[in-house]
Chains A and B, each alone.
Chain A
Amino acid sequence: MTAIPDTSPALPNRLSPGALAALITLLVGAACIALEPAFAWLVKWPAAWTFPATDWVGAVLEAVLGALKPFARMLASLLRYPMDGAHFVLTRTPWPLVIGVTTALGWYLGGLRMALLGALGLGFVLASGYWIESMTTLSLVAVSVPLALMMGGAIGILANEVPRVKSAVQVLLDVMQTVPTFAYLTPLLLLFGFGPVVGLIASAIYAAPPMARNVMLGLERVEPEIKEAAVMAGGTRFQQLFQVEIPSAASQIMVGVNQCLMAALSMVIIAAVIGGFNDIGWEVLLTMRKAQFGAALLAGLVIVVFAIVIDRMSGALAIERKRHDPRIAYGVLAVSVLVTLVFWGRLPDPSGFALLDPTADAVDAGLTAFTVASGAWLDSVKNGAMFYVLLPLRIGLDQAVLPFTWGFMWTPTMSLWLFAAGAAAGLVLIARGSVVGGLLLMIAVGILETGIANLPWPFVLTGTAALCWIAGGRKLALISVLLLLTILLSGLWERALLSLYLSGAAVFACAVLGGAIGLLCAVSPWAWRIVRPICDMLQTIPLFVFLIPVLMFFQIGEFSAFLAICAYAIVPMIRYTRFGLVSTPDDLIEAATASGATSVQIMKDIRIPYATPSLLLGLNQTILYAFSMLVIAALIGTTGLGQSIYLALGQADVGLGVSAGAAMAILAMIADRIVQGFAEERRKALGL
């Protein structure tokens, strides 16, 4: 055949892989909808077809854990010694001394600013009256972090030394990162019994991966010539590693220490859920349950202050090489010792401070007044979002549109009209050359009508396979479908779809809003100056604290959970968007300017395309953040896997907890690989 130039913008002779995948997905979806009346099993996976997999998992795990129990209990009783020791030291040390040590350390690490941060931060904690609770939390961190550092460091070094172990370790770390925090707790509870030791061990396990990752990364990034110089100097492998490679990787390893500290703190606080241990996390939980939001906010702020002090000080370890004059640090220490000695026995009880209680009460009163005054307005915001956005996404227009919500009843005729409109718009797009876009539009209309929670399973499997195939090839598609099938067969499917819906909605909101904010910050340095500290703050706050403000205004429910997830997951989207947009090489922008492009054109034609890989990475992080927050948000009312994990924790149901945790991890990993695949492809296409 000879190629005749096609003058009409009609369908290309051959479909691109993307269009083919979209077409197949669309056809499967359409077939499912059409056949639903006849074959109900196409939409709802019949309960008869599932295996009691969670029970099996539970039985196996309980057997294994039971066998490990004596050993675990022994470990737990051993760990009690350092824990009690740390607790004793931190709670009994006179508070001026603790503040003095922190201030001195702050000075040494980061000069006046850091010293002030330490002094004011701890001063705030003291004034809040939560001193003892805070020190209890700190003592847990103080024991779990060295454990995590040792484990993480050992894993990192092992992976570096034995290349064969490396890829296995990478997979393990990936899994550990995606398995939700609560899911760790259930098996640990069984192993170690109730009590603070569980929180300790959970936080050590949770905090080890970032350390391991950074040790691996740091050792990998040591310049090859530095490694070679150590070899040529005649060092043994041990000397090379400990005298040259690890010190050379110090700043990356310090980043690991910083992340490890933050993860441990976050987990210690979350672990309060399982035990009435007199720590600050428990305090937040307690006050939150009693709807004392002023007190909850105050306790939450104490956590935030701790997080910021620990983060900034350990962060200074990673960046600043020059240390400040130790003599001043000694001076500060001496003053605090002096104060302690002079006022010995007359020091006020740290728990007696209640300087901020009036503020907390005022907040409570103000909040009550506010909710009473603008309750109608808040409700309308909440109901609007629920009725017009979240509910249709969840159960579809056909069920969400009711006289009670939208003021009229959805009829099958309307469905037909919607489909017709979607098909028409899609066809217009296709006729204009955008085949994939048209097909995707039709798929989106279908999803909107059906609702994510009611999507037919063949459609979800096909769609996932199609996306995986485009993003990462046949192998990824196969693995993803197999993993999804295990969820389907284990009877967790409906809950998985519910989780998918809520996190999907949050991710979508974050992508749009975060993308817009990121764009704004890229264009205006002024905006970035405001947004940046907020982002820093949001990333430092332990997950748990996000629940307080949303609860204050919107009570328990899905909308509150949605807001909490968004607040946490939006940060990476903002950061990566801005970073991608501002890191366009200058010569590209100069070339575009020289060609006469306006700044809008430069943004549209140069900067955004160039930033795509970065944008996709931001989306990827947002997805992972949303998943991890989803489980925490189960505390304030979500359905789906997060709720199952939380319930399993309460009932010590290992099978359900671990299975649901695994299902979450599967969803997160599939999403991660798909987005990473697209990002990688874009990066290659751009030659980066």
Chain B
Amino acid sequence: MSDVNAPAIACRHVWQVFGEGADKALTAALDRSGQDADAASQHLRATGFIPAVQNATFDVAEGELFVIMGLSGSGKSTLIRCISHLLHATAGEIRIDDENIVEASKQRLIELRRKKLGMVFQHFGLFPHMTVADNVAYPLKVQGIGRKERLAKASEVIDLVGLAGREANYPRELSGGQRQRVGIARSLVADCEVWFLDEPFSALDPLIRRQLQDEFLQIQAKLKTTIVFITHDINEALKLADRIAIMRDGKIVQIGTPAEIVLHPVDDYVREFSKDVAKGRHAHVASVMRGAGGGIEPGPDDPGLRTNMTLDAALAKCMSLYEPVPVWDDAGACVGVVDPADLAAALQVEDA
């Protein structure tokens, strides 16, 4: 096993440029601009190349649910394909468990995909000529595992995603939501450690989407895999993410927790995203808490705020108070105070 502190995925200066002779063009453009990514991208665009991912650098911790969000054409799908090596990154380094997969051999990549990586696709990518069971068992089949054994394993994951009884159906006989359950089951059958999901719920109806999101969170709670999740839906990102990276025109413009994204957007682009979001539901008390509240004992009218309480919930509890209110951690120790006025202020949508 690798070092506990090493991130599960580490991306360093990852570029994906499309066009004939892109790698040379990128090196030249970077040299020209003195390694300035923005200037290099501009130059590449001007010369007919498409810098779909520019200088992406971030880490994903083990067991973290990392969401990459952006509008269509922002490069998020390209980025996830670089990390899963469906596309060979033009430049940069992508380490999965400290192994640089950009330089991995073909053989090693096949091995990695068999043992470590799983992926779910927006339009499911189910094999039309195979039944549900065969679809799910396919990653085991390519490893040469016998039919009986792989079908047994497949039926376990099919149970997990709630499709028991549909094993013999063909994809065309299933609804959209059921199809994506098959896609999820297939990506899980080989016990992956890193799980890529490319807009898995975008093609589904809102109600089915919410249901699958909840089930997805339950599965994640059970399996605790490292996840890279792509979406264009800010609400989905906020609901699921430990951390969110926001992409625009091939560039990552901000990485942060849902609360950071909502409360401290770095620019108008990010602010625009979170504009219509009910911030009170996504930001927690911890993000507006000041100083340490050492020595404070709970008073008789203490509203009992917690660090992980949403702003909405906190505000409801201390509406009538004017004093700074103490905040308690799960162990019952006071960790700080919150001014109710700050709670209210944080919730206000900026009227720029």
Q: Which residues of A contact B125 (CB under 8 A)?
A: 223, 225-226, 228-229
Contacts of A232 in B (CB 8 A): 84, 86, 113, 117-119, 187, 196
A243 within 8 A of partner (CB)? yes
Q: Are A236 and B142 in contact (CB under 8 A)?
A: yes
Q: Please give the distance in Å from A234's CB to the nearest CB on chain B.
A: 3
Q: Which stretch in A100-108, A244-252, A393-401 binds the other chain?
A: A244-252
Take A223-B123, A225-B121, A225-B123 as given contacts and tell me if A235 and B142 are in contact as well, using a CB distance cutoff of 8 Å.
yes
The interface residues of chain A lying within 8 Å CB-to-CB of B124 are 225
Contact with A along B97-136 (1 / 0, CB 8 A): 0000000000000111111011101111111111000000
B114 and A234: CB pair below 8 A?
yes
Determine whether A416 belongs to the interface, using a CB cutoff of 8 Å to chain B.
no
In contact, B186 and A233 (Cβ under 8 angstroms):
yes
Contact A233 B142 (CB under 8 A): yes
B139 proximity list for chain A (CB < 8 A): 233-234
A243 to B119, CA, bound (A): 19
Interface: A231 (CB within 8 A):
yes
Pairwise interchain contact B127-A229, C-beta atoms closer than 8 A = yes
B348 → A minimal CB distance (Å): 43
Residues of B near A230 (CB, < 8 A) are 127, 138
A374 in the interface (beta carbon within 8 A): no
Contact A228 B110 (CB under 8 A): no
**CB pair A248 B123 closer than 8 Å:** no
**Bound complex: CA A550 to CA B71 (Å):** 64
Query: With contacts A233-B186, A234-B113 known, is A239 near B127, CB below 8 A?
Result: no
CB distance from B143 to the nearest CB of A (A): 7
**Candidates B110, B117, B142, B187; contact of A243 at CB < 8 Å:** B142
Note all chain B residues with C-beta closer than 8 A to A225. Answer: 121-125
A230–B129 alpha-carbon span in the complex (Å): 13
Q: How far is the CB of B43 from chain A (nearest CB, A)?
A: 28
Task: Specify which chain A residues have a CB less than 8 angstroms from the CB of B86 in the assembled complex.
Answer: 228, 231-232
Q: Is B190 an interface position by the 8 A CB rule?
A: yes
Instruction: Knowing A231-B86, A232-B86, A234-B114, say if A226 contacts B190 (CB, 8 Å).
Output: no
Tell me which residues across on chain A come within 8 A of B183, comparing CB atoms.
229
Taking CB atoms and an 8 Å cut-off, the chain B residues in 64-111 that contact chain A are: 81, 84, 86, 110-111
Residues of A within 8 A of B118 (CB): 232
In whole angstroms, how far apart are the Cα atoms of A460 and B309 in the complex?
85
Chain B contacts for A236, CB-based, 8 A: 110, 142
Which of A231, A234, A248 is within 8 Å of B127, CB to CB?
Answer: A248
- B142 close to A229 (CB less than 8 A): no
Residues of B within 8 A of A247 (CB): 127, 129-130
The answer to whether A244 touches B127, judged by C-beta atoms less than 8 angstroms apart, is yes
Q: How far is the CB of A323 from chain B (nearest CB, A)?
A: 14
Given A231-B113, A233-B113, verify A226-B142 contact (CB < 8 Å).
no
Interface bracket on B: 20 to 34
Q: Is the CB of B110 within 8 A of A226?
A: no
Q: Which residues of A contact B142 (CB under 8 A)?
A: 233-236, 239, 243
Please state if A226 and B127 are interface contacts (CB–CB under 8 Å): yes
Query: Could you tell me which residues of chain A, from 198 to 232, have a CB within 8 Å of some CB in chain B?
Result: 223, 225-226, 228-232
Q: How far is the CB of A465 from chain B (nearest CB, A)?
A: 31
The residues of B that contact A229 with a CB separation of less than 8 Å are: 119, 121, 125-127, 183, 186
Residues in chain B near residue A226, CB distance under 8 A: 125-128
> Is the pair A250, B129 in contact by a Cβ cutoff of 8 Å?
yes
The answer to whether A234 and B186 have CB atoms under 8 Å apart is: no
A235 to B140, CA, bound (A): 10
Chain A residues whose C-beta falls within 8 Å of the C-beta of B128 in the assembled complex: 226, 248
Residue of A229, A230, A232, A243 ringed by the most chain B CB atoms within 10 A = A232
| Residues in chain B near residue A231, CB distance under 8 A | 86, 113
- Residues from chain A with a CB closer than 8 A to the CB of B112 are 234
Q: Specify which chain B residues have a CB less than 8 angstroms from the CB of A223 in the assembled complex.
A: 123, 125
Are A228 and B121 also in contact (CB < 8 A) when A234-B143, A236-B142 are? yes
Proximity bits, B128-168, A CB within 8 Å = 1, else 0: 11100000001101110000000000000000000000000
A642 to B81, CA, bound (A): 55
Q: Cα distance A233–B183 when bound, in Å?
A: 11
Q: In the assembled complex, how far is the CB of residue B106 from the closest CB belonging to chain A, in whole angstroms?
A: 8
What's the least CB distance linking B101 to chain A, in Å?
A: 13
Complex: how many Å from CA A232 to CA B84? 8
Give CA–CA (A92, B186) in the complex, Å. Answer: 52
Smallest CB separation, B179 vs chain A (Å): 12
> Which of A229, A239, A243 has its CB near the most chain B CB atoms (within 10 A)?
A229
- Name the residue on B nearest A251 (C-beta): B128
Residues of the A chain whose Cβ atoms lie less than 8 Å from the Cβ of B114: 233-234
Pick the contact of B190 from A228, A234, A239 — CB < 8 Å?
Answer: A234
* Nearest opposing residue in chain B for A235, CB measure: B142
Q: Which residue of A lies closest to B196 (CB)?
A: A232
Question: Quick one: closest A residue to B138, CB to CB?
Answer: A233
Closest residue of chain B to A245 (Cβ to Cβ) is B127
Q: Shortest beta-carbon distance, B157 to chain A, in Å?
A: 13
Q: A233-B138, A250-B129 are in contact. List 18 more A-B contacts (CB 8 A).
A: A223-B123, A223-B125, A226-B126, A226-B128, A229-B126, A230-B127, A232-B119, A233-B114, A233-B142, A234-B111, A234-B143, A236-B110, A236-B142, A243-B141, A243-B142, A247-B127, A248-B127, A248-B129
- 9 smallest A-B Cβ distances: which pairs? A234-B114, A225-B125, A229-B125, A234-B113, A233-B139, A232-B119, A225-B121, A247-B129, A235-B142
Using a CB–CB cutoff of 8 Å, the interface residues on chain A facing chain B are: 223, 225-226, 228-236, 239, 243-244, 247-248, 250
For this complex, 8 residue pairs linking A to B, each with C-beta atoms less than 8 Å apart, are A225-B123, A229-B126, A233-B113, A234-B114, A234-B143, A239-B142, A244-B127, A248-B127
